Structure 1
Amino acid sequence: MEQRLANTWRMSVNEKKFIETALLADLRVDGRRPFDYRRLTIKFGRQVLEDGSSEVQLGQTHVMGFVTSQLVQPYRDRPNEGSLSIYTEFSPMADPSFEAGRPGEFAVELGRIIDRGLRESRAVDTESLCVLAGKLVWSIRVDLHILDNGGNLVDAANVAALASLLTFRRPECTLGGENGQEVIVHPPEVKEPLPLIIHHLPVAVTFAFFGDGNIVVIDPTQNEEAVMGGRMTATLNTNGDVCAVQKAGGEGVIMQCLRIASVKATDIRSKINSAVEAHNMEKALRKIKRH
């Protein structure tokens, strides 16, 4: 992977050896235990027009998520369903190995992992996005901007996508006109925008394998990614069901990782829900004060 190779080139042999030796002693350079996450913080936009935006920090990793929508024609094979798409943007300011312009291999892979966990698990009710069957549906787009790469971009980007989707509100639509087939999109001042219907929250949990795969850690840092032998990302929903598994290299114990991932996913999901509830409460209080 291009990004991992770039990290390796920037590290000295002694630095890599130190990380590997510490892991053999069940220690990590940043002081965490093998299955400890770094500190996770979730922030949201304060303005009404910023509904559907989130800012997530996982240790030194910094990701922003934005959700937008537009009315489009549905796919022919799914005339009653809207769509959900994931896009990633890597800035050279986040990591010197990222190039501006065309997405690199890692950007494409990241988008696919998030997409597989969210869209293919049908977390968002796409049928509720239908406005006029066969003619107009809502297309939901999630943009993920990598601001700082401190390692484990997948988990941070996944949290940013979920937090943004939970706070997004789409305009209310009604049918009118002489034939009752004219779509009227109401501004937020006229009709309250509607939240998306989200069935479950698929949370991604990433593991890194070292040595012969017998050393496993969760939430690897950028330096740990440079020396790891393989990686696995498991995406689990609210019921603990596995929505997707992405594994690249390594001989790690998959079932053990899935059990740990289930516990960690529950914890992350709780933090997302708490952050969203606090945001909605603050938003409701501001609305009361304004009126």
Structure 2
Amino acid sequence: MAPGVPLEASLTEAAFLLGALRAKLRPDGRSLLEPLPLSISLGATPGSATVRLGDALVLAHTHAELVAPRPERPYEGFVDVRAEVQPIAGPQFERGRAGEEEVRFERGIDRAIRRSEAIDREALCVVAGQKVWSVTLNVHLLSSGGPLASLDCAVLASLLSLRHFRRPDATVEGGPAPRPRRGPAAAAAPPIAHADRARVVLHDPDERAAVPLALHHTPLSVSLAVFELDAEGSAGGSGGSDSEAILLDATPLEAAQASASVNVVCTPQGEVCAVDKAGGSPLSADTLERAVDIARRRVRELAKIVEEELERDAKLRAVEVPQ
């Protein structure tokens, strides 16, 4: 098989899948809304997280550095999300050439983390107009579990990395008087002279406890595969109706044969950050509403797992702050 060419299911595999869905089953034995096995590992370095969802394996790492802000946004830091897919992740990926699955993977992570404004960028400001934190999230897809499971796995790993990350505490020495943030007074304020610039001192984590990132919300991604079924059978259950079936954590075969797929990014409180449907058959309002409800329930389950894992990791570290 040539690199970069997607795998295609045989007619026998496609027929078997549809037959299983009519019987309210899936080829791997799961029910329609049963998730894939999930495992989480937080690294020894704050900001490192590895997540496996079925066959999908993702490594995420966060780091930060002090930089100068944009002149037009002196009170905001930077958030950069970088996704990398190597050929080892699957035969459909080719080095130096981004296919459709890779592009959707990168855009999905950016939509869930950066464009949803998950990180409070104003909280990254150390000295207005002089020093802000630039946070970079690197996401590596090491093994693909299909376009849907891989994206959900990557967003979960990204959120864990951001929640697990700690930046050094900083002290500001000297500097000019506080400047107005908005309005005519801010526009008329003279530029800060070099002699008046503040000095930023970064403290070692052994001296002062490192500081977590401030997050507006904690978005998580849930991708669902929708199948249109004929009159020979019924999908039934909470994941389908007589004419369709909605699948959670679709395998590569299920994702490839689905009539349509929908990605929902929402918070544990039920706030929807983004809904994306790329291609496939049109979805009715009832189907979309049912998909969002399924995603909300799954996000609450994932959020509980995230909190338990972070709490367990915090107890293992148990750092005492010097007085």
More displaced 10-residue stretch of structure 1: 15-24 or 175-184: 175-184
Count, aligned residues: 279
Query: Is the radius of gyration larger for structure 1 or structure 2?
Result: 2
Give the Cα separation in 1 of the matches to 2:155 and 2:4: 20
- 1:86, CA displacement in angstroms? 1.4
Structure 1 Cα separation of the partners of residues 95 and 226 of structure 2: 30
1:91 matched to 2:89: no
Confirm or deny: 8 A CA contact 1:205 1:233 kept in the other structure. Answer: yes
* CA distance in structure 1 between the aligned counterparts of 2:95 and 2:46, rounded to whole angstroms: 27
Match of 1:207 among 215, 224, 231: 224
1:261 correspondence with 2:256 = no
Partner residue in 2 for 1:181: 198
Q: Secondary structure in 2 aligned to 1:245?
A: strand
Write the letter of the residue equivalent to 2:83: T
TM value normalised by structure 2: 0.81
- 1:250 corresponding residue in structure 2: 281
Matches within 5 A, 1:1-291: 6-8=6-8, 11-46=9-44, 50-151=45-146, 152-176=149-173, 179=196, 181-211=198-228, 214-248=244-278, 249-252=280-283, 253-284=287-318, 287=319
SS in structure 2 of the partner of residue 6 of structure 1? coil
* SS of corresponding position for 1:220: coil
Secondary structure, counterpart of 1:31 in structure 2: coil
2:116 alignment partner, SS class: coil
Q: Distance in 2 between matches of 1:147 and 1:255?
A: 33
Structure 1: gaps of 5 or more residues: none
Between the aligned residues of both structures, percent identity stands at: 35
The letter of the residue matching 1:186 is H
Question: Is this contact kept in 2: 1:166–1:196, CA < 8 A?
Answer: yes
CA contact (8 A) 2:93 2:99 kept: yes
SS where residue 108 of structure 1 aligns?
A: helix
Provide the rounded CA distance (Å) in 1 between the counterparts of 2:30 and 2:101.
26
Residue 223 of structure 2 aligns to a residue whose secondary structure is: strand
Distance 1:75 1:155 in 2: 32
CA drift of 1:34 comes to: 0.8
Equivalent residue number for residue 178 of structure 2: none
Per-residue deviation, 1:59: 1.2
In the superposition, the TM-score normalised over structure 1's length comes to 0.89
User: 2:268–2:296: 8 Å Cα contact kept in structure 1?
Assistant: no
Shift of 1:150: 1.6
Report the alpha carbon displacement of residue 239 of structure 1 after superposing the two structures with TM: 1.9
Q: Deviations over 1:3-45 (max 9, x none)?
A: 996022xx32212221122112211011111111111111111
Please give the secondary structure, in 2, of the residue aligned with 1:262: helix
Residues 248-273 of structure 1, C-alpha deviation per residue, up to 9 Å, x if partnerless?
22334100111111111100111111
Work out the CA distance in 1 between the residues paired with 2:122 and 2:142: 33
* d(CA) in 2 for partners of 1:119, 1:89: 16
Gaps of 5+ in 2: 175-194, 230-242
**RMSD over aligned Cα, in angstroms?**
2.1
